[in-house]
Structure 1
Amino acid sequence: MATPPPPQQGAGPYPNPYAVPPVPPVPQQGAYGTHPQPGPPGCRLCGAWPAAPATVRGHQGMIVLMRFLSLRGPFCRDCGLSTYRRMSSDTLWQGWWGPLSLFITPVTLLVNLGPRAAFRRLAPPVGGFRPPLDPGKPLWRRTPALLALVPALLVLLALPALLVIGLVAGDDEPTTLTVGQCVRNVGDWSDQQLVVAPCGSADAEYRVTRLLQPGTTCADGEYYADLKYGPNGTATNCLAPLH
């Protein structure tokens, strides 16, 4: 008896219950299963690009103690400038209150100029998950900066002012007396202040009688003028009372 042939797939009115459905194609990976590489990190505060990896620092002096502050990036241009200006402004009025802080504060402010330059070189931020920070006013236009600059400017202006005052209103050189002049003493004899006066005036008290030579002395009743009133400060004049 002959064996009937097996039913053909798709033949007849009924589908074949043993037919295996086709397997969908599997997407092929790269040769080594590579994955896309992440891009450079965005700003830590707003997520925008481009961002610079920098650290902004601050300092607080507390008489005996002190605090060193820092905030590490990356920062976009606006968030970086805002952080730099805020921390530097706080340092200008919080950083001087201690013996060592007087030296640490200027160094901190100078170190922050490096991150500031890096932020200013960046393009405007884009693509963040939130708006970037407002940079605000420049540092030199903020109140703490102005308060810190006023004493510094006063010191800088005081030095040349004191020099000019010293040159203009310095101690006058003592007048070199000559024989025949009349003087009055506005000090005492231990600290003579001889001022030349007209011999006929009521202010004249003494007359210069002679310039002493080595080995000589003034006459009885005469006074000795200080050496500073002699030629080159090396000789003494004799002063005779007029009254």
Structure 2
Amino acid sequence: MPSYIDIAVNLLGSALESDIPQIVQAAAEQGVSPLIVIGSDLAESAAAIELCQHYPTQLYCTAGVHPHHASDWNSASLPQQAKLCAAPQVVAVGECGLDYNRDFSPRSAQRTAFAAQLELAAQLQKPVLMHERDAHEDFIAILREYRPHLCGALLHCFTGSLAQMHAYIELDLHLGITGWVCDERRGQELAQIVPFIPKQRLLIETDSPYLLPRSMRPKPKSSKNKPQYLPYIAQYIANLRNEDAEEFANCCYLNSLAFFNLSPNHG
């Protein structure tokens, strides 16, 4: 059975939180291990580190401030985040970036928090896990300034255009693809783009509990997406790319190990 790493799981602050042991176990039974738990603000990042300590080798996490929470960013945030990022469970700075779709935080605050976290990632030489929605121009302008100093940069849940994909690949980004690609309504453009993403730049994720693949049959009883469905997403993407599913899964697994600086884990 192929091995998989789910590079973005919202285990905390979501519908999955009440069922973590079962979620982790069911994923591992499908070869999906470890899972990367997303920290979307500093309190959640601290909680994620604590959670990971209970699941060594099965859970790792990020530590960051999502653009939705950028208005909470202040002078104390950076030293706090740096301290969190020193924990051995933290494999990336983030989730950070820009979200002009929801605008839950003022755009100026989003840009300030994003730039500060990119600078921190460069200082710590930790990879960065990023979010961008309806903010491509500002996102790429800020990122371009810091990219030469970053050891690795991942745009997770990529749903952009072909031109945006090329711009991100030019900046040597990794792109995370979710079950959005399985959505016959919203995912058609992404499905057309996915074959053109260089294989060494492609990572796969569920972004659980969001973005349940709409094309799954039989349809899961619950609308909650789960890491155990990652092999389905991998198979779907491999078909779009006209690649052998097992070889594709292995390539994504090796990409993920290298990006997050993890050792192979079959436990």
Q: Shorter chain as normaliser: what TM range?
A: under 0.3
TM norm structure 2? 0.21
Structure number with the higher helix fraction is: 2
Larger Rg computed on CA atoms? 1
